[in-house]
Chain A
C-alpha cells in the first residue's frame, strides 16, 4: 500500500476518534482537543486521498491544508478565549446540559 493510502486511513481513524470525543466529552478543553483531532484527520484525508488518486504529490491540497491549519488555530484560540472567560465567570469547565429544546 502506498503511504498516501495508509495515511488516508489514518486520517479516517483520527476523524472517527475526534467525532467520538467531541460528542462524548463535556469538558470544553477535551472537546476542543477532539475537534483538533477531527481537523487533523480531515487534513490527512484531503492530501492523502487526493495524492492517492493523482498518483503523485499535489501542491493544491497541500496549500489548502496550510490554510486549514491556520484557520483551525484561529478557531481554537477564539474558543480558548471564550472558555477562559466562562471559567472566570462560572468556575465551570463545561456548559450546563440543555434544559429545554
Chain B
C-alpha cells in the first residue's frame, strides 16, 4: 500500500515536472513549478524528513514561487512574453545527450551502492545530549555543522546586498499600489497574527521537533510580503539603516556569539557548557527575524526601478 503511494507520487512528480518544463505558456510553467514544490513536500514526508517538507512548502514552493510569479507579472506588464525564440536543433541534441548521459550514469551509480563505512547518524545520536537541543536536525544545523549555517546566512545576506547595490539611490519609491480591498484587509487582520503565531511556534518547536529558524523566518517573510502587497510598507526609505541592521542582525549575532567564545580561548563556534540551548535559541530568534526581512527585501528590491545604465566612465576617476 505504502509503496503504491510512493509510485503514484513519483508518477505525479514526473508529470508535473515535465509540464513545468515544456509548457507553451511560461505562466503555466511557473504554476506547475509551484505545484511541484507542494508534491515534493509530500515526498519529503515519505522520506521521513518533516523538516524539509516544511521548508520545501514555505521556501521552495512558497517564496521561490512568489518571486517567480512576481517577475512574470512584471514581464507581462510590458507585454514582451510572446516573442520567445524557438530553441535550435543543435540545442535539442546537446540537451538530450547531456541529460540522458547524466541519468544513465546516476542509475549505474545508485545500483552499485557500497555499504557506507561510517554511520554518521549514530555519531549524531551519541553527541545529541551535549548539543543543547533535542532535535537532531537543529543540533546538526546550529551546533555540529554550525559553520555551514553561518556561511549559508552569509549567502542570503549577500544576495540581498547585490540586489540593494544594483538598486539606485534616487529611484522613486515602489510604485506598486496597495490593494484597496476592505475584505482583504479584514482577512489580513486575522491572517497576519495567525502567521506570526505560526512563525513563533515553528521557532520554538525547533528545539525538540521539526521546525526552526528557517521555516519560521520564511513564514514571517510570507506575512511581511502579504502586508507589503496590501499597501503597508515595511521598508521605508527613511530608515534605511534600520532595515540594513535588521538584514544583517541574524548574521551579526551568530558571528558575535561565535567570536565571543573564541576570545574566551575556546574554538570558534563553541557554545560554553550549559548555555548551548539558550544561545542557540538566541541565534535562532535573530536569524528568524533577519531571514524574514531578507526574503521580504529580495521581493521588494526587485520592484524598485533599477538605476539607469550609466556611462561606464562615470564610475571611474
Measured CB to CB, the residues of A under 8 A from B are 1, 3-10, 12-27, 29-30, 32-34, 36-37, 40, 43-45, 47-54, 56-60, 62-67, 69-78, 80-85, 87-89, 91-94
A1 and B47 CA atoms in complex are apart in Å by: 13
Chain B interface residue bracket vs A: 35 or more
- B68 and A33 contact, CB distance less than 8 A: yes
A37 and B35 CA atoms in complex are apart in Å by: 12
> What 8 pairs between A and B have smallest CB-CB spacing?
A20-B99, A59-B136, A63-B140, A24-B95, A23-B95, A16-B103, A74-B159, A77-B298
Q: List 21 A-B residue pairs with CB atoms under 8 Å apart, sorted by A's residue number.
A: A5-B110, A10-B10, A10-B13, A21-B95, A25-B87, A30-B21, A33-B30, A45-B106, A45-B110, A53-B115, A57-B121, A59-B137, A62-B140, A63-B141, A64-B145, A67-B141, A69-B55, A71-B155, A81-B166, A81-B302, A94-B85
Chain B residues whose C-beta falls within 8 Å of the C-beta of A32 in the assembled complex: 68
A20 and B87 CA atoms in complex are apart in Å by: 12
Task: Tell whether B239 is near chain A: CB-to-CB under 8 Å.
Answer: no
Chain A residues whose C-beta falls within 8 Å of the C-beta of B3 in the assembled complex: 1, 3, 6
Chain A residues whose C-beta falls within 8 Å of the C-beta of B140 in the assembled complex: 59-60, 62-63
- A40 and B40 contact, CB distance less than 8 A: yes
- A27 and B84 contact, CB distance less than 8 A: yes
Number of A-B contacts (CB under 8 A): 247
The main secondary structure of chain A at its interface with chain B is: helix
A62 and B144 CA atoms in complex are apart in Å by: 13
Query: Which residues in chain B, 55-73, are within 8 Å of chain A measured between CB atoms?
Result: 55-56, 59-60, 63-64, 67-68, 71-72
Chain B residues whose C-beta falls within 8 Å of the C-beta of A34 in the assembled complex: 21
Chain B residues whose C-beta falls within 8 Å of the C-beta of A4 in the assembled complex: 47
- Find A74's partner among B80, B113, B158 (CB 8 Å cutoff): B158
- A36 and B64 contact, CB distance less than 8 A: yes
- A13 and B17 contact, CB distance less than 8 A: yes
Closest to A44 in B: B43
- A87 and B74 contact, CB distance less than 8 A: yes
Task: Tell whether B33 is near chain A: CB-to-CB under 8 Å.
Answer: yes
A6 and B91 CA atoms in complex are apart in Å by: 30
Task: Tell whether B119 is near chain A: CB-to-CB under 8 Å.
Answer: yes
Query: Which residues in chain B, 185-218, are within 8 Å of chain A measured between CB atoms?
Result: 212, 214
B1-30 near A? 1/0 per residue, CB < 8 Å: 011001101100110011011100010011
- Find B59's partner among A10, A45, A69 (CB 8 Å cutoff): A69
